[in-house]
Amino acid sequence: MNKLLIAPIAAVALAISGCGAAPASDQTTNTSESKNPVAEAQAPAPSSAVDEYFEAFSVDTPSQFEYAASLAAPGSIAEEYASYSALVSSALSDNGYSSSPSNFSPRESDVELCDQDDVCTIFADFEFDDEKLASYTVNGLSIDDRLLPGRGETTKFEDVAGFEILGSYQATSNDALQAVIRFEAYERPISASYVITYRDPTGRQVDEEFSLKPSLVASDSNQLGYAIIPNAEVGGEFLLKFATDDDEPLVVETVTVPTK
């Protein structure tokens, strides 16, 4: 691996589950709650509900994050964050990177996940809905307003390309925004190897700190990308530049893609 990428990828690997592949920048203060309000908390469910969920997180693969989501209360913070974690893990995998499993340590009132460098995240304050995990804090912090699921809509430029923000998340440790982006090429191949720019809800514009994006998307194909934007709130829009990459007349455009 390119040495210049080791630190960013390590940060990505630490953030989502505290130690596994997913949103970067939340080292030591990683977080895992999502945006929608949780159903009224029920009496604590058996500890096995918590243990099974976070044990799946510790494996650090898209399928295991998806499994964790299936264990959570439908529509809850716990479900949405696990689903977002699966997207980030998939984006890393699509761009040739993977992460190592975390050490999973269930305890009396919380769960600790530690990476191979002993950077740990503590999940606690569990709430349940119908005995399914619905909400929790991470290192004592809530991120209820920091996770924004995707809109489920693609922003298209003619019959050439399409872009969709599948989910975005603002880290608690440094307020960096992280996003998973789907790049699609339709009738012509495209290159997306340009700087990603973000405009937050206040109109402030900022360029990426780090990203993984496809240098080439073949026609009738799509690939996931991942971007980190420093000190930015969720709810803004991305400015994504692309160019066609074939023998036809060159098209270079910037598409504005909303996150909500």
The predicted structure's pLDDT at residue 115: 86
For residues 201 and 258, the answer to whether their CB atoms sit within 8 Å is no
d(CA 187, CA 139): 47
CATH number at residue 217: 2.60.40.1240
Question: 101 and 154: one domain?
Answer: no
Residue with the larger pLDDT of the pair 144 and 7: 144
pLDDT of 149 higher than 90 = yes
Q: Residues near 86 by Cβ (< 8 Å), separated by ≥ 6? A: 62, 63, 65, 66, 69
pTM of the model: 0.82
Question: 140 and 154: one domain?
Answer: no
Q: What is the mean pLDDT of residues 208-220?
A: 97
Which of 120, 145, 170 is the endpoint of a domain?
A: 145
Question: 152 and 81: one domain?
Answer: no
Q: What is the mean pLDDT of residues 114-128?
A: 89
pLDDT of 5 higher than 80 = no
The predicted structure's pLDDT at residue 184: 99
Residue with the larger pLDDT of the pair 184 and 7: 184
The predicted structure's pLDDT at residue 120: 86
The predicted structure's pLDDT at residue 46: 52
Question: 93 and 157: one domain?
Answer: no
Question: 204 and 227: one domain?
Answer: yes
Q: Is 220 exposed, middle or buried (0-12, 13-18, 19+ CB in 10 A)?
A: exposed
Instruction: Summarize pLDDT for 155-188 with one digit per residue, the tens.
Output: 999 999 999 999 999 987 788 999 999 999 999 9
Q: What is the mean pLDDT of residues 36-53?
A: 61
Tell me the torsion sign for CA atoms 99, 228, 11, 107.
Answer: negative
Q: Is 252 exposed, middle or buried (0-12, 13-18, 19+ CB in 10 A)?
A: exposed
pLDDT of 36 higher than 70 = no
Question: 69 and 80: one domain?
Answer: yes
197-199 vs 190-191, strand pairing mode: unpaired
Number of domains comprising the chain: 2
Q: Which residue has the tokens 């469910």?
A: 45
Which of 110, 145, 180 is the endpoint of a domain?
A: 145
146 — pLDDT class (breaks 50, 70, 90): confident
Which of 145, 171, 199 is the endpoint of a domain?
A: 145
Question: 121 and 160: one domain?
Answer: no
Question: 36 and 132: one domain?
Answer: yes
Question: 160 and 244: one domain?
Answer: yes
Sequence letter at residue 94: D
Q: What is the CA radius of gyration of the chain?
A: 18
The predicted structure's pLDDT at residue 139: 81
- Mean pLDDT over each residue of the chain, to the nearest integer: 85
For residues 197 and 205, the answer to whether their CB atoms sit within 8 Å is yes
The predicted structure's pLDDT at residue 137: 87
Range of the domain at 153: 148-258
Residue with the larger pLDDT of the pair 210 and 174: 210
Q: What is the mean pLDDT of residues 13-40?
A: 41
Sequence letter at residue 166: L
Collapsing DSSP to helix, strand or coil, 64 comes out as helix
